[in-house]
Amino acid sequence: MKQIKNEKELIKKLEEDIKTCKKRKIIFFSGHFPLVYSHKNIEALDYWGKFSIYTLELACRIGQYAKKLHRDVEFVFFVDDHMYEDWNNLKPAQIKTARRNLYRLRSGTKARLPKQYSAIMKKFGFDGNNVLRHDHGRPGRKDCLYFSEKILRSSNKKIENPCAREYTEFIENPKYFNKRNSYLISFIPNRCRENICDIALDKEIKNFNASHIFMETMGGAGITRKDLFKTGRGVLYRKD
């Protein structure tokens, strides 16, 4: 695990990883955000401070570099749809309905990302066609732009930690990730680092090539992008 000092160092390292890897496809796990059911718009893109927007912008910028190297580029959006279920006075049925309605809105061939995400991707030459979609196995949610953590956690894999279980479920499913042809660049909340590294990466996932970047999500609205590199545990990098 390496401490990254600033954005320039991070971009240089990730571009070098893309240049030297022999994979045809580069997949970016970025723009990760939670559903906050007490909000009018439950897609809480700014709830984790700068993390969600910033990681998507970084991924798009580096993805542009990958395109210049004639690599295929895809983005995967995980949604934390479980953590904030109890942080409100809503009834379980209300929470379920809100989640279902959102996922249906973001599913299907005509579905679009939120305006803020669409604008970022368009700026760098990407759009919804570059997004890997999740089949939720629910009516109206076959081709969802968002991967539901709740559904991934329902995997029957015998992994006690749910965070590691969902991540392993995604990577080990050839429908979504082809280990032979794909290189993964993941931007992940620092609080998930131990579960992802110590369990998913070190014990469960084999024959896998990736770069993992861990950043803080709980710094608050006053934390700038530059501050992320020195806030809490800072920005950490690991290559597998």
1: in domain: no
pLDDT exceeding 70 applies to what percent of the chain? 99
> Do 105 and 111 form a contact (C-beta atoms < 8 A)?
yes
Question: Using CA atoms in the order 9, 113, 170, 187, what is the torsion angle rounded to 10 degrees?
Answer: 20
pLDDT tens for residues 55-112? 999 999 999 999 999 999 999 999 999 999 988 889 999 999 999 999 999 999 899 9
Q: Per-residue pLDDT for 171 more than 80?
A: yes
Residue 219 predicted with pLDDT over 70:
no
Mean pLDDT, rounded, for 157-169 = 96
In-domain check, residue 117 = yes
Cα separation, 36 vs 41, whole angstroms: 8
- pLDDT higher than threshold 70 for residue 118: yes
pLDDT band at 192 (very low <50, low <70, confident <90, very high): very high
The verdict on residue 169 lying in a domain is: yes
Within a domain: 50: yes
Domains of the chain: total: 1
State residue 218's pLDDT score: 76
User: 43 lies in a domain?
Assistant: yes
* Residue 56 located in a structural domain: yes
Nearest to 39 by CA among 116, 99, 111: 99
The runs of H, that is alpha helices, within 69-214 are 92-105, 115-123, 149-153, 162-171, 193-194
User: Domain limits at 217?
Assistant: 7-239
Determine the residue type at 170.
Answer: F
**C-beta separation of 3 from 234 below 8 A:** yes
Q: Is the pLDDT of residue 217 over 70?
A: yes
Which pLDDT score, from 0 to 100, does residue 221 have?
64
Is the CB of residue 49 less than 8 Å from the CB of residue 215? no
pLDDT in tens, 18-59: 999 999 999 999 999 999 998 888 999 999 999 999 999 999
Q: Flag whether 69 is in a domain.
A: yes
In sequence order, what are the beta bridge partners of 107? 144
Q: What pLDDT score was predicted for residue 223? A: 80
Average pLDDT over residues 166-192: 96
Q: What is the pTM of this model?
A: 0.95
Separation of alpha carbons 185 and 17, rounded Å = 9
Mean pLDDT of the chain: 95
**CA 90, 162, 216: angle at the middle one, nearest 5?**
80
pLDDT at 24: 96
The answer to whether residue 196 is domain-embedded is yes
Separation CA 52–CA 239 (nearest Å):
21
